[in-house]
Amino acid sequence: MTDTIPACYNVSIVNPNQFWKTDKVLKTELPILAFQIAFVAVLSRLFSIIYKPLHQTRLISQISVGFLLTPPLLGRFTTIFEFIFPVNGVVNVEVLSHIGLIYYAFLSGLEMNLNTILNVNKKAASIAIAGIVFPILVAPCLYALFRNVYGHVMMFPLEESTSNAYMIWTLILTVTGFPVVAHTLSELKLLYTGLGKAALTTAMIGDTYGWILFTLFVPFSINGKGAIYTVLSTITFVVVCIFVVRPLIQWFIDRKEDKDEWNDNQLLFIFMGVLACSCISDFLGAHAIVGAFVFGLILPHGKFAELVMSISDDFVSGFLVPLFFTGTGMRLMLIAIFSQESWPFTIVIILLLCALKILSTLFVTFFFGMRIRDGLSLGLILNNKGTMALIMLNIAWDRAIFSIPTYAVITSAVLLMTIVVSPIINVVYKPRQIFEQNKLKTIQKLRVDAELRFIACVHNTRQAASMISIIECFNATRVSPVHVFALYLVELTGRAAALVVAHIGKHRSQLGEQNLTRSQEELENIQNTFDALGEAYDAVRVETLNVVSTYTTIHEDIYHSADENRTSLILLPFHKQLSLEGTLEVTNVSYKDINQNVMHGAPCSVGIFVDRDFGLVPKMNLHICVIFVGGPDDREALAIAWRMAGRSGTQLSVVRILLLGDAAKVDASIHDEAQGILTAVIDTDRQKELDEEYISTFRLTAVNNSESISYSEIDVHGGENIPTVLNEIDKFGYDIYIVGQGNCRNSKVFSNLMEWCDCLELGVIGDILVSNNFGSRSSVLVVQQYGYGGMVFENNLNQKATNKSTIESLV
């Protein structure tokens, strides 16, 4: 860094008498810039695909592109490097990357939740403060140790001035990247565990403190003794923005939203405001990103913030910001670390740098009674570094504060902290594996006097009202209360941090009704709907939560929520809803995939509720029918209906279908070939014994002691008789059917019928009852019991389409 080589290039001046004296931009400079953007964007996406199994963030992928161009790799081929980044194109790509960085800081401020920061609990604040104080105390010692260990190397000499290096070195180790933490937790499916919630809140507070430290101390490394005036003027600027500019912007934006007058031209003024605030903070002596961050912070959050992010996030995060992070990777010279004999000691120092925040977190969490494993996991997650650390690294490089070896050491530590988090957390913290060691979570196994805890998943307010209608039937009493965890499932379509923050601690009184996003407004309505249930029944407790994740992996978040809350049942809405014509129509195909994924590996029993205006049925005169064929799912369905039958005014009819003759043949194809028919027969006999035992208990305890409970049996000799039997049962006009999905029946008849099913997650009986051709007006609850393995749906997907018409004609 002490010896710099100037790079000169010729520029042909066009129109020398005008203000802009440049070459023909469209012909000479724009093609180079477009190629550089395309090169970085394509390679960063490629690295993202490669790193996806390791759950790495896009930041690591973008830095990898720059590292690929360093001298040990492609950078040693001068021709290739100069073709990608020619000298006359460096200025343009630097300017564009810094513009992207400014808008990235603006989006970071826009996604921060001040309400959560101001109302933080003691535990999260203590962990965040410890993660700052401990590195401030220890980091300077490690810097001095590094200088002594590294020694004097002629090829890569250390920086001579150390005061600014001490400051930047220390600040880099104190910050936590909140967007990176949110992405990591989302990828690891830990957002909605106790660990995830603690890490998310602490990271948000730590990130806020990081911005404060950046604003207060970085100017001293840029402006020297005059930095005190920079700090005072920057603080004044922030105060004016919050207390003067913010109310004016709030009034203007609210007026536009009320009249729905937003257009692209008016949004342009918002983006110009970002540049204006950046220029002001840069003029005051602070970094330009401070003004952009403050501008994003003062803008109204909610619907407006969602609009701005949806317009700008893809372009900023996908094309502009990667240019900046690629430059960080290009400056990383690992050869500087290994060019001296004491490089093993340098590696030890890098590992010690990674351990500072982990040790401080372990120390604080110990006093709060957290387990060592949880404290270690929390420390690892909070060790994630984000944009702030990389910005300070680039400031130190541009101002020659860090030498090449110092930059290489601290950058390696920052990258190592971020890279190792996901793999180590996967090894250290596995809540799913821990849950499998617990007792079976089923309704059948639940004690009579135990609290019934279950999750009710919904996608909208209509499904919330539907879930409440079935929850009311669960006969909540003071002896056996009901605890409902309502999960509002939100699809993750943008920045993980932005959507997660949008659902942390938001209340209508804080935002204003007109500023709520569509998902926030839906959450408010769902919460009010479930709160009304808790107020109506003394024995019912309700907690409304939300899950923000991609639909392809959201079932894992449901698993962890069930684990965290120790539930016995997960209630899911059917992917079809009743139309005005009285038929079931598809709402969203993705809901079906979610239901199947949940049933495949749920940590407790699962129920899919098919609503046919069940909320209009008077609960004081409710007729329930259980169709019992056999197997664990049917026993679980009977256990649920048995509990519901304890409610006053409820009548329960249990119809047992006895398979005789050809219908009783065992299907051995569902077992492995090595196990064969013998295993199938033994398993079938065992299930029959359990069925007889449970039915006998039910008849002795319930049927003989209650006039509102009846039991009957119907013989079935072939698969073609099942639709006929169901038609006869439906003539009694029951309000709701509760049936098992049909796992472990080992019946050849049902295996053949399953090939014709349109909705495999409902099983044979449930699929027929739900079919529009069957003509029933009754609601249906399909149950799968936990403990016998989840359903596998891939086997019948090809056969389902070809045989759909067959089942329709049969019904």
Q: What is the pLDDT of residues 549-596, one digit of tens each?
A: 888 889 988 988 888 888 999 999 999 998 888 888 998 899 999 999
Q: Which of 260, 349, 272, 246 is nearest to 307 (CA)?
A: 260
Q: How confident is the model at residue 695 (pLDDT cuts 50, 70, 90)?
A: very high
H or E segment to which residue 540 belongs: strand 540-549
Looking at domain 443-505+517-666+677-784, its CATH architecture is: 3-Layer(aba) Sandwich (3.40)
Q: Which of the four pLDDT bands, split at 50, 70 and 90, describes residue 540?
A: very high
Residue 633 CA to residue 599 CA, distance in Å, equals 12
Q: How far apart, in Å, are the Cα atoms of 781 and each of 215, 482, 615, 657, 762?
A: 58, 18, 14, 18, 9
Q: Which of 714, 713, 719 is nearest to 663 (CA)?
A: 719
Most confident listed range (187-191, 224-228, 630-634, 806-810): 630-634
269 band by pLDDT with thresholds 50, 70 and 90:
confident
Q: Which of 15-29, 272-286, 650-664 has the lowest mean pLDDT?
A: 15-29
- Residues 612-639 have a mean pLDDT of 89
- Higher pLDDT: 12 or 281? It is 281
> Is residue 808 over pLDDT 60?
no
Rounded Cα gap, residues 653 and 460, in angstroms: 32
Under CATH, to which class is 25-428 assigned?
mainly alpha
Q: Report the chain's mean pLDDT, rounded to a whole number.
A: 81
173-182, 372-381, 385-394, 494-503: lowest mean pLDDT where? 494-503
pLDDT at residue 572, rounded to an integer: 95
pLDDT of 501 over the 60 cut = no
Q: What is the pLDDT of residue 682?
A: 62
Residue pLDDT, tens place only, 115-146:
666 666 778 888 888 888 998 999 889 988 88
Are 62 and 45 spatial neighbours (Cβ–Cβ below 8 Å)? no
Residue 661: DSSP 8-state: G
Res 653: pLDDT: 94
In this predicted structure, what is the pLDDT of residue 1? 45
pLDDT tops 70 at residue 3: no
Residues with Cβ within 8 Å of residue 574, at least 6 apart in sequence? 584, 591, 595, 608, 609, 610, 611, 770
Mean pLDDT, rounded, for 712-722? 85
**pLDDT in the model for residue 509:** 42
Looking at residue 386, what is its pLDDT? 81
In the predicted model, what is the mean pLDDT of residues 770-778? 87
Report the distance separating Cα 623 and Cα 273, nearest Å: 63
pLDDT of amino acid 507: 45
Residue 648 pLDDT greater than 90, yes or no: no
Give the per-residue pLDDT at 211. Answer: 86
- Please state the three-class secondary structure of 380-445 as a single string: HHHCCCCHHHHHHHHHHHHCCCCCHHHHHHHHHHHHHHHHCHHHHHHHHCCHHHHHHCCCCCCCCC
* C-alpha span between 291 and 297 (Å, rounded): 10
Q: Provide the CB-side half-sphere exposure for 396 (13 A, CA).
A: 33
490-499, 636-645, 764-773, 787-796: least confident range: 787-796
In this prediction, residue 745 carries a pLDDT of 72
Q: Is the dihedral of CA 295, 297, 299, 304 positive or negative?
A: positive
Q: For 290-297, what is the mean pLDDT? A: 89
Q: How far apart are CA 71 and CA 74, in angstroms?
A: 6
340 has a pLDDT exceeding 50:
yes
- CB burial readout 620-654, b (16+ within 10 A) else e: eebbbbbbbbbbbbbbbbbbbbbbbbbbeebbbbb
Beta strands in 619-691 (DSSP E): 622-628, 650-659
Please, what is the Cα angle at 60 between 58 and 61, to 5 degrees? 65
Kindly report which listed range (232-236, 396-400, 498-502, 626-630) carries the lowest average pLDDT score: 498-502
Examine the pLDDT at 792 and tell me if it is beyond 60: no
Give CATH 1.20.1530.20 domain extents, the chain: 25-428
Q: Are 764 and 742 in contact (CB under 8 A)?
A: yes
Q: How far is CA 671 from CA 160, 579, 689, 755, in A?
A: 73, 40, 20, 17
Beta strands in 660-800, from DSSP E residues, in sequence order = 709-716, 736-740, 779-784
Per-residue pLDDT at 93? 84
Give the residue-averaged pLDDT of 634-638: 93
The pLDDT assigned to 664 comes to 72
Domain with CATH 3.40.50.12370 in the chain: 443-505+517-666+677-784
Specify the residue for token string 């949004």. Answer: 267
Cα radius of gyration rounded to whole Å, the chain:
32
Average pLDDT over residues 317-330: 84
